[in-house]
Amino acid sequence: MHDTLADVLRGKVDHPVVGDFRLVAQEMGVAGRRMIESQALDEGWEHVKAEYEVDKAGGLDLVLAYSYFSAKNFGTERIDPLALKLANQHLENPISQGLFALTGPISKVPVAESEPESIPTETIPKETSKTVPDNLERLIKEKIGAAGDVNPDHIAKELAKLEELKNLGDIGSIVKQAIESSLPETKEIRKTSFDLLKEALDNETVTPRRLAKRVLKASRRILTLSESERLTNEKTKGDLIAAGTERLVKLDFARYLENLDLISEALAETLGEDATSEILTRNFGDVTFNESDEKTRKKVNWIYKMGMQRAVDLGNYPGMMSYLRNKWQLLGFDSDDISFVSNEFGKLMKRGRAKLALIELEKLNSSFGNNKFEVRIGIALQAFSNLSKAPVRDRDHFNAIFSAALKLFEELVSSIEKCEEDICNELLKSQPVADLCLASVTGVIRLMDSYIKRPGKSISAASVYPLLHKTIRPLITLALKTLKQNGDSKTIKSMKTTINKIRGESSIKEAMVIEAKSHFG
């Protein structure tokens, strides 16, 4: 079975083209995407209108449907006058009714540019409320009754989704009355998926199957409304889904897990990624994953990874970290996640947000406490390696990035030194710590040089370097002190060479060179 393009774009399947789409979307931005969508909409309308000119009978529904789609997704101002004229002439058409549900009563329909000006004015009603035919209700009933291969329930459901017939004035009242009298069950169908879910939650004896069905239906509705930018009262709807999942996981964990991907998306759309991560983790509170089967662990791992990716796509890095920490709490540490985090924060640094990346990485490192020092060192090493790729706007930006980098390094070294276990003393003398000392110094020096050489800026290196030397000295001093405790001769030699090659001349640079010699001879 082949993946559909819709599944690929929504991130429901893993496909190589997804990364390309995301890169293009980031480069274009929201305004760029909207411009292309608008251009495509206009070009599509020209095609639809040309089809109608060739076959007016066969192209009627196409014109009305395309106009309804345009109005639903881009606003009623995108409806062409031709479509409004045809909708007024064919009030019995359900799509016409849908159009007027969006626009409200039309008192005056503009003349379509593609129609000759000699069209008799009496064919275009001036006031909808005064031009409703006396037999409109009978015509609608006959239309529904003569539908033949069209299921009347389907017609009712589609019209019920509009939920805006009341805005149509006299037409809306007549349509509503005609439908209700022809289809007695319309009133029951009009209950929203959220009403049905609330009823299920109020029922103390609701079956797991019915509750799962209600939760899924409400979740799908949330995603549909979100895609069409019509989602309102997000928190209320999200809290309802959360309550449904909390009840469902206790009644039937298997059903809950089976549909968790859809449920988690709906929660994220309404309550945000941070809250979704907490809700998922709370619902798993009584589950011991160490004893669970491998299939369950893989599904839970996938759900959290999808949440991390959604958060990253939205630029919500705290949300990504929330998923990461909670995932580790449930399933234990996963080294693959470190690669993901390093890669994403490396991209963030390249996009000019190095300060945010370093702050979030420091928070992640601190969350380990006195555990997983090898992981914490690995995270810091990747951060300093990526630091050289970070663009710098001005001196204040450089200082902010450096302060975050210094804090990341200080907190890690301090944690190792304060650890009273024998393994921590051994760790101070390990190769990873030696590599970290050298990487931290190399990273800030390259950041300094990239600031001096930034394109399009004229900076007097001779006057700026002394100021930057003073800024970076605290980190270099700490790195030298830590490396002295480590004692790796090869790294010490590389460190001395690196400090000697610092660009620019100043008394601070000379002091750093002397400091390196005093530590290592």
Residue 65 token pair: 């449907």
Q: Which residue has the tokens 């009355």?
A: 177
CA–CA gap between residue 377 and residue 365 (Å, rounded): 9
CA–CA gap between residue 177 and residue 170 (Å, rounded): 11
CA–CA gap between residue 401 and residue 345 (Å, rounded): 14
Predicted confidence at residue 123, as pLDDT, reads: 41
The answer to whether the CB of 329 falls within 8 A of the CB of 306 is no
Model-level pTM greater than 0.85?
no
What one-character DSSP code corresponds to residue 345? Answer: H
- E strand map for 114-264: none
How confident is the prediction along the chain (521 residues), in pLDDT tens digits per residue?
Answer: 456 666 665 656 666 655 665 666 666 666 667 777 777 888 888 888 888 887 887 788 888 888 888 888 877 877 888 888 888 888 778 887 777 777 765 555 554 444 444 434 444 444 444 445 555 555 555 555 544 444 545 555 555 544 444 445 555 565 556 555 554 444 444 689 999 999 999 999 999 999 999 999 999 999 999 998 899 999 999 999 999 999 999 899 989 999 999 999 999 999 999 999 999 999 988 776 665 578 888 899 999 999 999 999 888 988 998 999 899 888 888 888 888 888 888 889 988 899 999 998 888 888 877 778 888 898 899 899 999 889 998 889 999 999 999 999 999 999 998 887 778 888 889 999 999 999 999 999 999 998 888 765 656 788 899 999 999 999 999 999 999 999 899 999 999 999 999 999 999 999 999 999 988 76
Residue 323 token pair: 């998923």
Q: Which residues of 291-328 are buried (b: 16+ CB within 10 A; e: fewer)?
A: eeeeeeeeebbebbbbbbbbbbeeebbebbbbbbebbb
CA–CA gap between residue 108 and residue 85 (Å, rounded): 10
Q: Which residue has the tokens 């079975």?
A: 1
Predicted confidence at residue 59, as pLDDT, reads: 81
CA–CA gap between residue 67 and residue 80 (Å, rounded): 7
Backbone angles phi, psi at 148, to 5 degrees: 70, -105
Alpha helix locations (H) across 368-486?
A: 373-387, 395-418, 422-428, 431-452, 461-486
CA–CA gap between residue 239 and residue 271 (Å, rounded): 8
Predicted confidence at residue 85, as pLDDT, reads: 85
CA 380, distance to chain mean position in Å, is 27
For 365, 481, 490, 492, the CA distances from 485, given in Å and listed in that order, are 22, 7, 14, 11
